[in-house]
Chain A
Amino acid sequence: MDSQSLNKKIKALSKDLYPHLINSMLGDFSKTDEFIIPEEEDELTPIRSGFKIIFDGINEKINEIEKINDLLSKRNEEHLETIKRLEEFTYISSHDLRAPVVNAKLLVDLLKEDKYPSGTIIEKLDQSINNLDNTLNDLINIIARTKPQHQLVEVNLENTFEHIWKEASKNYSTDHIKINTTFEQNTMETSKVYIENLFYNLISNSLKYQDPKKKHLVLNLKTESTPNSIIITYSDNGLGLNLPDDQEKLFGIFTRAHDHIQGKGIGMYIVNQNIKELEGSIDVEGSLNKGLSFTIKIPNR
């Protein structure tokens, strides 16, 4: 081989190497095509093989780093979510826990002063302590649910819905209620507790927030499956909500969207957390006096 043709080959090789070298220096190695050695062997084949080993090595390392990066950003998201939850907690404790304690203290002061009939004050004291007890229990409930505890089992949606319907409706008159169900997909691998909790909250909210002006309360439930997920749609013709303004109140913690009816304001918060934990989504549509429609998507396992 003469020096001229060798020179040509070296030039061609450096041209091939150039993008790989530049990209590896920029840390963008994965963007380049694979470094391919021509099948036909020549004097530079050992050099090419050497470079190929180096490039493949770098490529592999970069892939590893990218995987770790993905994992880290996922963890980071989880941590941000936890921080957000903790911030909600401090907000609640600075208000909902403090309010009944302040009231109890003031009432005890009044008792000491002996200015008012003690019967009335003791009654109010009793109420304050009950309020405190309820708020504490709710907080304990929520804290217990911050760690994923669900076990995946095969859940029969029709049976579960029927069972929960009986449970949730036992204190209501049901003669005027029409229920339409379509179970295109009847079983799913999921958390039984979460599905029960979902049905319970949807039904009990429909019962609580019925529109007294309508002759019938109509509930519609449909379950179906797509290649990737199970879709549950549920709707009623109740009082509805002012959406999207009230969406935050519906899914928020300790918030209620309807003022005139008692509720602790944690039911739909927990449902939303459960669905998030199953990597699913819950969406709500509707308007005031028209009723609500929920779409729940849970990935197929």
Chain B
Amino acid sequence: MKNIIIIDDDDIHNFILENELTSSYQCQVQCFTDTTKATLYLKDNQPDIILLDINMRPMNGFEFLENYISNKLVNNKTKIYIISSSKHEKDINKAKTFPVITDYLVKPINYSVLNISQK
């Protein structure tokens, strides 16, 4: 059973992802639409996977990551994936400057990349 947290201000996509991951895969999922609440949660918890959106307000995904790094929350267990509907080069290149990011996934995301077992 893998623990996954989703940080995305898109409620509809969160609904789809949470439903798919919990019904077809062996996962526990928690969604955050607010990066501040997500940071608070991550101070006490180390999930297996963080799925992080970029285009959020007021703090975007990259700003969240900078915070995450400066709060010394980086650990060996948690893998971070960007999930974005943007295929824009600017975002993809920016993501490459963060070594803590495992992969950049464009929505709709391909679940097989996440290495989680099916039910």
Contact = CB atoms under 8 A, between A and B. Distances in A.
Interface in B4-34: 10, 12-13, 15-16, 19, 23, 34
A94 B86 contact: yes
Contact of A124 (B15, B58, B85): B15
- The SS class assigned to the A binding surface is helix
Interface in A167-213: none
A116 B88 CA distance: 33
A116 B85 CA distance: 24
B87 interface: yes
B12 A124 contact: yes
Contacts of B12: 100, 103, 107, 124, 127-128
Interface string A118-140: 00000010011000000000000
Interface of B: 10, 12-13, 15-16, 19, 23, 34, 55, 57-58, 84-88, 90, 107-108
B119 to A, nearest CB: 12
A94 B107 contact: no
A120 B87 CA distance: 29
B89 to A, nearest CB: 9
Interface of A: 90-91, 94-96, 98-100, 102-103, 105-107, 110, 115-116, 124, 127-128, 249, 255-259
B16 A98 contact: no
A102 B108 CA distance: 6
